[in-house]
A and B are shown apart, each in its own frame.
Chain A
Amino acid sequence: MAGIVLRDLKKVYADGAEAVKGISLDIRDGEFIVLVGPSGCGKSTLLRMVAGLETVSDGEVRIGERLVNTVEPADRDIAMVFQNYALYPHMTVYDNLAYGLRNRKTPKAEIEARVGEAARMLEITPYLQRKPKALSGGQRQRVAMGRAIVRKPSVFLFDEPLSNLDARLRVTMRGEIKRLQKRLGTTSLYVTHDQLEAMTLADRLVVLNGGRIEQIGTPLEIYHEPASAFVAGFIGSPAMNLIPAELRGGRLLIGDTALPVPGFVPASGPIVAGLRAEDLRPAKPGETALPFRLDYIEELGAQRLVHGTVHGHPMVVAVAAAFVPLAEEMRLATAPERLHLYSPETGARIRISAGVETARTTAEPVPA
């Protein structure tokens, strides 16, 4: 077992394109870290640099105590699960699992024992003599996991391993990966663009954007206190509502609605206000409220998502399944402490009664 340390890691391609722009990250032994971000954010490149499949342009990759920048993938004591499984089509499932061990001159009896154990763990024993072609997507993914497990590596690397599966199977496999990782206690680095997958699997999440880290934290920390407008808009389903507003005299103006701000805000003028869909509710009579024009309703079963606009800006509200809007015009209220504020220039979070966050945030232009 081993942790992973990344120091100021950079990847610049031959054409000058910078995929990873100086990333530092400490992953503890046994930790499950999920790298999440939109496509092109550098998450796969980062994972591949840890695997040794991509060269490091600058910085350090350490696995355990060892600097592995120039170490061959086979000698890094890692195992990787690929999105398209990357099984060897001409080999049986047994040979797929055993191949890496044979290359390492592992004794035959031990290969048999390890393959048998992994197959039992993943419930693929009946398929050991089949070729991958004769397996379903889910079974193939299990074989790919098995190939990683038999190696007994210090680190598991997952590159969007569930993206090729259908929605239902994805949920099942998600659970299995989590269970398996807990049982084996192997340090894991997992890449996905699916924020729900990221939230459910991670001990800690690393949100990436444009080759840089936007935020590191537990899923709940990131959900409740997104460090930037980008994270706020990326994590959570539905995404946080972000709406241009103005801070004036300790009050937040959204259009002509003035909401109280609980505490001191070290800023004034234009600002971006963030409101989670579930933090909005229909206002009681006499309460300060935002005028909401209803557009359409998305049924989710347990709740309904009401889509509409506030002062011309799109807004989503999560309401109980029993709630029936009586008119197209509604009034929405929120608890002031549920407000999130972001700088319109940098996208950085503005802490109420604290100050502008300086670290870790470089910003995307804030969506208007």
Chain B
Amino acid sequence: MTSTASTASNAALRRGAVHLMLAALSLLTLFPLLWMLSAAFTPNELITQRAFRLWPEEASLSNFRIAGEKHPIWWWLFNSVLTASAITLGKLAISLPAGYAFARLPFRGRRFLFGLVIATMSFPAVLAIIPTYIAVVKIQAFDTYSAMIVPSIPYIGFYVFYFRQAFRSLPDEMFEAARIDGCGIWKQFRDIAVPNVLPAIAALSVISFMGAWNIYLWGQLVLEDSARKTLTTGIAMFADVDGADTPWGPLMATSLLSVLPVLGLFLLAQRYIVQAFSSGTVEK
């Protein structure tokens, strides 16, 4: 009895220790975010005068106003939404039909081509930056939305692979029924296949949007005009321009602006993302 009781209390102790450690780690992770949140609403002149507070004494939106006067941050927000949406749509527009073709259409060289698509996943994107940059400059697309959007679309190896799996998991008979119902290949794709892989589309859309939202290096290279920058690339201008006198309040306000939409999107689509990656298949 005694030994059983001590084993039980040992287990509880161990569990408590693990929880304590996890709590400490999450605090460590959350701390910068909380600080950003607090700083974004603390008037700039108070930030460096006071010690850290979880919530400012006098919360104010002045940092957003100041940031907006210094830089076109609302344009940056618009540009971020525009480019991330366009990149996501572009990726879906190519990878959905490609995944469908690899999953359901018999054609010569299908396995080989699919192998090539998969091989692109192991290609480091960084290697393509210089040639792509030269190409962008040559076709006079430098500092345009297209320069930001178009070269970011083709990295879809994983998307094609994932959609192929999703389409393969749909029963053949459903497509045969559709053929008897008078559907050609395109209609089978549009009316039957796509509506049945919506969870997969939702999951990859969010992942693509978040990825595109966070593009930094490429944006720094091809976007020059301040009004055309995205939030991620624009934020750097606070530090660059102001040097030692970095206005931390407006910088944090802009950072908050760059985090919130993605966080919101993730929370909305969390269910699909977890579902998509835990089950490995889509809903039948």
- Chain A interface (Cβ < 8 Å from any Cβ of B): 51-53, 72-74, 78-80, 82-84, 86-90, 99-100, 103-104, 147
Q: Are B173 and A73 in contact (CB under 8 A)?
A: no
Taking the nearest CB of chain A, how far is it from the CB of B122, in angstroms? 32
Q: Are B195 and A90 in contact (CB under 8 A)?
A: yes
Nearest residue in A to B187 (C-beta to C-beta)? A103
Q: Are A103 and B174 in contact (CB under 8 A)?
A: no
B154-193, CB under 8 A of A: which get 1 and which 0?
0000000000000000010110111111110001000110
Q: Are A78 and B195 in contact (CB under 8 A)?
A: no
Q: Are A74 and B196 in contact (CB under 8 A)?
A: no
Provide the residues of chain A in CB contact with B181, threshold 8 Å. Answer: 74, 99-100, 103, 147
Q: Are A78 and B182 in contact (CB under 8 A)?
A: no
Q: How far is the CA of A72 from the CA of B192 in the complex (A)?
A: 18
Interface size on B, residues (CB 8 A): 18
Taking the nearest CB of chain B, how far is it from the CB of A238, in angstroms? 33
Q: Are B171 and A51 in contact (CB under 8 A)?
A: no
Q: How far is the CA of A8 from the CA of B168 in the complex (A)?
A: 34
Nearest residue in B to A75 (C-beta to C-beta)? B182
Q: How far is the CA of A25 from the CA of B179 in the complex (A)?
A: 25
Taking the nearest CB of chain B, how far is it from the CB of A101, in angstroms? 9
> A73-B179, A74-B180 are known contacts; what are 16 more A-B pairs with Cβ within 8 Å?
A53-B176, A73-B176, A73-B180, A80-B177, A82-B177, A84-B173, A86-B173, A86-B176, A86-B177, A88-B178, A90-B198, A100-B181, A103-B181, A103-B183, A103-B187, A104-B182
| Max chain B Cβ within 10 angstroms of own Cβ: one of A52, A74, A83 | A74
Provide the residues of chain A in CB contact with B178, threshold 8 Å. Answer: 88
Provide the residues of chain A in CB contact with B195, threshold 8 Å. Answer: 90
Provide the residues of chain B in CB contact with A51, threshold 8 Å. Answer: 176, 180
B284 at the interface (CB under 8 A from A): yes
Q: List 12 A-B contacts (CB under 8 A).
A: A51-B176, A51-B180, A79-B180, A80-B177, A80-B180, A82-B176, A86-B176, A87-B177, A88-B177, A88-B192, A89-B196, A90-B195
Taking the nearest CB of chain A, how far is it from the CB of B281, in angstroms? 14
Query: Which label, helix, strand, loop or mixed, suits the secondary structure of the B interface?
Result: helix
Q: In B124-145, which residues have CB < 8 Å from any A CB? A: none
Q: Are B176 and A90 in contact (CB under 8 A)?
A: no
Taking the nearest CB of chain A, how far is it from the CB of B180, in angstroms? 5
Q: How far is the CA of A88 from the CA of B284 in the complex (A)?
A: 10
Q: How far is the CA of A74 from the CA of B192 in the complex (A)?
A: 16
Provide the residues of chain B in CB contact with A73, threshold 8 Å. Answer: 176, 179-180
Provide the residues of chain A in CB contact with B180, threshold 8 Å. Answer: 51, 53, 73-74, 78-80, 100
Provide the residues of chain B in CB contact with A53, threshold 8 Å. Answer: 176, 179-180
Nearest residue in B to A90 (C-beta to C-beta)? B195
Q: How far is the CA of A79 from the CA of B182 in the complex (A)?
A: 11
Q: Are B182 and A84 in contact (CB under 8 A)?
A: no
Q: How far is the CA of A53 from the CA of B177 in the complex (A)?
A: 10
Taking the nearest CB of chain A, how far is it from the CB of B202, in angstroms? 14
Q: Are B182 and A103 in contact (CB under 8 A)?
A: yes
Q: Are B171 and A86 in contact (CB under 8 A)?
A: yes
Q: How far is the CA of A80 from the CA of B179 in the complex (A)?
A: 11
Nearest residue in B to A144 (C-beta to C-beta)? B177
| Max chain A Cβ within 10 angstroms of own Cβ: one of B178, B182, B191, B195 | B182
Provide the residues of chain A in CB contact with B187, threshold 8 Å. Answer: 103
Q: Are A74 and B177 in contact (CB under 8 A)?
A: no
Taking the nearest CB of chain B, how far is it from the CB of A279, in angstroms? 42
Taking the nearest CB of chain A, how far is it from the CB of B45, in angstroms? 57
Taking the nearest CB of chain B, how far is it from the CB of A80, in angstroms? 5
Taking the nearest CB of chain B, how far is it from the CB of A71, in angstroms? 12
Q: A89-B196, A90-B195, A90-B196 are known contacts. Are A74 and B182 too (CB-CB below 8 A)? A: yes
Q: How far is the CA of A23 from the CA of B174 in the complex (A)?
A: 28
Q: How far is the CA of A89 from the CA of B282 in the complex (A)?
A: 13
Q: How far is the CA of A83 from the CA of B177 in the complex (A)?
A: 11
Taking the nearest CB of chain A, how far is it from the CB of B197, in angstroms? 10
| Max chain A Cβ within 10 angstroms of own Cβ: one of B177, B192, B198, B284 | B177
Nearest residue in A to B177 (C-beta to C-beta)? A86
Q: How far is the CA of A366 from the CA of B176 in the complex (A)?
A: 38
Q: How far is the CA of A147 from the CA of B177 in the complex (A)?
A: 10
Q: How far is the CA of A87 from the CA of B192 in the complex (A)?
A: 10
Nearest residue in B to A89 (C-beta to C-beta)? B196
Q: How far is the CA of A52 from the CA of B187 in the complex (A)?
A: 18
Q: How far is the CA of A208 from the CA of B171 in the complex (A)?
A: 27
Q: How far is the CA of A88 from the CA of B181 in the complex (A)?
A: 11
| Max chain B Cβ within 10 angstroms of own Cβ: one of A52, A53, A104 | A53
Q: How far is the CA of A80 from the CA of B187 in the complex (A)?
A: 19
Q: Are A84 and B171 in contact (CB under 8 A)?
A: yes
Taking the nearest CB of chain B, how far is it from the CB of A173, in angstroms? 18
Provide the residues of chain B in CB contact with A99, threshold 8 Å. Answer: 181, 191
Q: Are B179 and A72 in contact (CB under 8 A)?
A: yes
Q: How far is the CA of A99 from the CA of B181 in the complex (A)?
A: 7
Q: How far is the CA of A103 from the CA of B195 in the complex (A)?
A: 17
Provide the residues of chain A in CB contact with B284, threshold 8 Å. Answer: 89
- Closest 8 CB pairs between A and B? A100-B181, A103-B182, A86-B173, A74-B182, A86-B177, A90-B195, A82-B173, A73-B180
Q: How far is the CA of A88 from the CA of B176 in the complex (A)?
A: 11
Q: In B101-152, which residues have CB < 8 Å from any A CB? A: none
